[in-house]
Amino acid sequence: MANQGPAYYSPYPTALYEGVSTPVEGKAILLDKEVDEETAMREIAKQMLTKENATIFPGPQVLYSYSDEARKKAALIKEMAEVLNAKMIPMYDYRPKYPKIDAEIEINPNHPNLTIWHNDIKAAIFIGVHCHYANVALKMVRCETDCYTIAMCALSGHEDAMATIRDQHASDLEQFIKIAREVKAELKL
Amino acid sequence: MASIKDMTDTHNWSGQKLVTADHMLFEAPREKHFMTGSEVLKEAVKRCTVDASVSYPITPQSEAAHLIGELWAEGYVGMYFRGENEFGVMAEVAGCAMAGARTITTTSGPGTLRAMENFPQWSGTRIPCQLILMARGINSPLTIQPDNLEVTFMLETGCMIWYAENVQELFDMSIAAFIVAEKPDVHVPIVTVVDGFFVSHTRESVMLPADDIALFPYEPYKAPLPPIDSETPPGRFLRDPFVMKSNYISYATHASWQWEVRSAVERSRRYAKHFLKGLVHVTGSEDAEIAFVTCGTASHQAKEAERELMKHGIKSKVIKLRTIRPFPKEELLKELEGVKHIFVPEFNVVGWLEKEVKTALHNNHTANIVGGPRVAGGMSLPAEAILKEVFEHINVEGK
């Protein structure tokens, strides 16, 4: 993503219209630059460790999915939160919450900015969110907030996040946790 | 006739060996056949492990829907049924695709407009179904003739639009279309257009791979929205409250959602470039100052005009657009370097391709753009008409 938010009151222009697309296999995107995965993982760890109220938003694919991979990932995300000193606020489902979301305890893809504003979140990881909803949310977060968004995607990645890394399976999360521990030690946190 | 078997890791239900799209399109040996566009579409569908097809095969359209029905009877297509009308067909296609089925249908002209509301709904729900649009025009009195006016109505539906020139391109494109549409970061519907009658009903030579191979099946759990299953009710988000509200949250969601659909179409460029070997195809003289920007069978006629112009010692080139959405702006600009006169021959009265070209080139190119020649209502587009247009606009010797 070329610019960190807040951008405008509208999600336009989206990253695609600013010339940033999803990363090719084996690569990641940091803002508008293509980088290798390890570089991205180090920057993601740094952002999460140094920004205020860093939070992980786990979505339905890791909260409810009935697979060994999902179970393994869920345990690793918990470990990731501990290593990054991050809070966890789940995206339970994709239905807008009316009359009012409890922004303290959940985030929703149709009004993700409310949770970010309420908790003053300056860096966040989206993980386990179906790609369409992640993209809808990421566009809104950038236009409404100054949160540094990170998308750790099991498929193709998300160009509307400030950092995106693709094909993230359990083994990749293990690798990320290892790198995050190293960065944490380097930063003496 | 294929016998129905269980799907395995290596073979589909009709016993065809599963292969990648790269193998199917670029590596598998091919043999020459002589077929109509409708027949060739049947051959493409046969090799795509298609789960479902819905049709409203009225006369006269093409035989395509009927022939896909035969594939079901032969055991190559998982499910096939008739809708009550075109609107019903497109709604049922949506249902099949939302439930995780690789789905195809075909229509043309007035049927397309009758079903119109469904197309932006298809893209909004991120289904990767394929519509083969055998263009035949829209007007009163009802036309059944070749004309591609309906394409202009499809341009802003959020669907990808590819345009095939001939039966060979129809075969290759309709296979690649599924694969590109199903990429998780794309995952929007694709409309593969051919000019009705000129392609659908005309027999041409076509190179086909053997029919004992087929594409790997669609993987719905890689979709960007949860597919319908026993835990996910259909159309959940369509009933969710934000769509009904008049407040900023609702506006922001809708805006973001629509930009996301358009972004998804843009993401298809990289895949389309690979499978179509470029979003544009150029023939003629590289250093020409005259260019024809075309799609579909108008490309064929423009190529004939290019050859005729060469006999007069006039260099020209034909830039055929293989994709209309996404529009290949960068590729077009690159191919138009040094060009002074652009002609856009079309099979419709409104000149929708001319408008697309002018939009793309506005403030980016100084060439004179001529929207024409245009024919409609079933008229053919002889090379002579294209030459006449060129000679009327350009002072050249030997005309």
* Section B219-223 average pLDDT: 94
pLDDT in tens, A25-51: 999 999 999 999 999 999 999 999 999
Mean pLDDT in residue range A81-107: 92
Domains B17-222 and B280-393 share a fold: yes
Q: How far apart are CA A142 and CA B221, in angstroms?
A: 27
Would the pLDDT of B396 be above 60?
A: no
For an interface test with A, the pick among B232, B240, B256 (most A C-beta atoms closer than 10 Å) comes out as: B256
What is the signed CA dihedral for B367, B370, B373, B374, rounded to 10 degrees?
A: 120
Min distance B255 CA to chain A CA atoms (Å): 7
On whether any CB of chain B is under 8 Å from the CB of A135, the answer is: yes
Q: Cβ B185–A136 below 8 Å, yes or no? A: no
| Of the partner residues A94, A113, A156, the one whose CB lies closest to the CB of residue B184 | A156
Residue in A closest to B187 by C-alpha:
A132
pLDDT in tens, A117-146: 999 999 999 999 999 999 999 999 998 899
> Number of A:B CB contacts under 8 A?
92
**Least confident segment among B23-27, B132-136, B169-173, B214-218:** B132-136
Q: What is the ipTM of this complex?
A: 0.93
Cβ contacts of B185 on chain A, cutoff 8 Å? 22, 131, 155-157
SS3 per-residue string spanning B29-83: CEEEEEECHHHHHHHHHHCCCCCEEEECCCCCCCCHHHHHHHHHHHCCCCEEEEC
Span B77-94, pLDDT tens digits: 999 999 999 999 999 999
Return the domain boundaries, chain B: 17-222, 280-393
Distance from CA of A27 to the nearest CA of B (A): 15
pLDDT of residue B80: 96
pLDDT confidence of residue B143: 76
Contact B225 A133 (CB under 8 A): yes
Q: Tell me the chain A residues in contact with residue B253 when contact means C-beta distances shorter than 8 Å.
A: 96, 110-111, 136, 140
In CATH terms, the fold of domain A33-186 is Rossmann fold (3.40.50)
As given in the structure block, the two tokens for residue A168 are: 């993230």
The CATH architecture that domain B17-222 belongs to is 3-Layer(aba) Sandwich (3.40)
Contact assignment for B223 to A130 by CB distance below 8 Å = yes
Amino acid at A95: R
What per-residue confidence (pLDDT) applies to B398?
44
- pLDDT confidence bin for B3, thresholds 50/70/90: low
Mean of pLDDT values over B56-63: 72
Instruction: Name beta bridge partners: B17.
Output: B11, B213
Q: Name which of A10, A107, A136 to mutate to probe chain B: the one with the most chain B Cβ atoms within 10 A of its Cβ.
A: A136
User: Which of B127, B251, B260, B273 is the best residue to mutate to test the A interface, defined by the most A CB atoms within 10 Å of its own CB?
Assistant: B260
Whether the Cβ atoms of residue B279 and residue B180 lie closer than 8 Å to each other? no
Structure tokens at A184: 């944490």
pLDDT tier for residue A169 given thresholds of 50, 70 and 90? very high
Name which of A62, A82, A78, A89 is nearest A168 in CA terms. Answer: A62
What architecture is the B280-393 domain classified under in CATH? 3-Layer(aba) Sandwich (3.40)
B397 pLDDT more than 70? no
Tell me the pLDDT band of B287, cut-offs 50, 70 and 90. Answer: very high
- Among the listed residues A129, A121, A122, the one whose alpha carbon sits nearest the alpha carbon of residue A104: A121
Query: Which of A149, A144, A73, A141 is CA-nearest to residue A109?
Result: A141
Say if residues B45 and B69 touch (Cβ distance below 8 Å): no
The reply to whether A22 touches chain B by the CB within 8 Å rule is yes
Residues 6 or more apart whose CB falls under 8 angstroms from that of A82 comprise none
What residues of B are in the A interface, CB distance below 8 Å?
126, 183-185, 187, 222-226, 236-237, 240-242, 245, 249, 252-253, 255-257, 259-260, 262-263, 266-267, 269-270
Q: What is the mean pLDDT of chain B?
A: 92
Q: Band of the pLDDT at B12, cuts 50, 70, 90? A: very high
Candidate from A11, A94, A114 with C-beta closest to B256: A11
Side chain identity at residue B175, one-letter code: I
Picking from A118, A85, A86, the residue whose alpha carbon sits closest to that of residue A101 is: A118
pLDDT digits (tens, 9 = 90+) for B240-274: 666 667 777 778 888 899 999 999 999 999 999 99
User: Tens digits of per-residue pLDDT, B304-321?
Assistant: 999 999 999 999 999 999
Residues of A in Cβ contact (< 8 Å) with B100:
none
Averaged pLDDT, B124-137 = 94
CA separation (Å) from B203 to A144, B62, B162, B164, B166?
57, 13, 21, 15, 10
Q: Kindly tell me if the per-residue pLDDT of B60 is higher than 60.
A: no
What's the angle, vertex CA A106, arms to CA A103 and CA A110, rounded to 5? Answer: 85
Residues of chain A contacting residue B255, judged by C-beta atoms under 8 Å apart? 10-12
The residues in A 52-111 lying below 8 A from B, measured between CB atoms, are: 60, 94-96, 98, 110-111
CA angle B27, B31, B32 (to 5 degrees): 130
3-state secondary structure A90-121: CCCCCCCCCCCCCCCCCCCCCCHHHHHHHHCC
Residue B399 — very low, low, confident or very high, per pLDDT cuts 50/70/90? very low
Region B143-155 average pLDDT: 90
Chain B partners within 8 Å of A144 (Cβ): 252
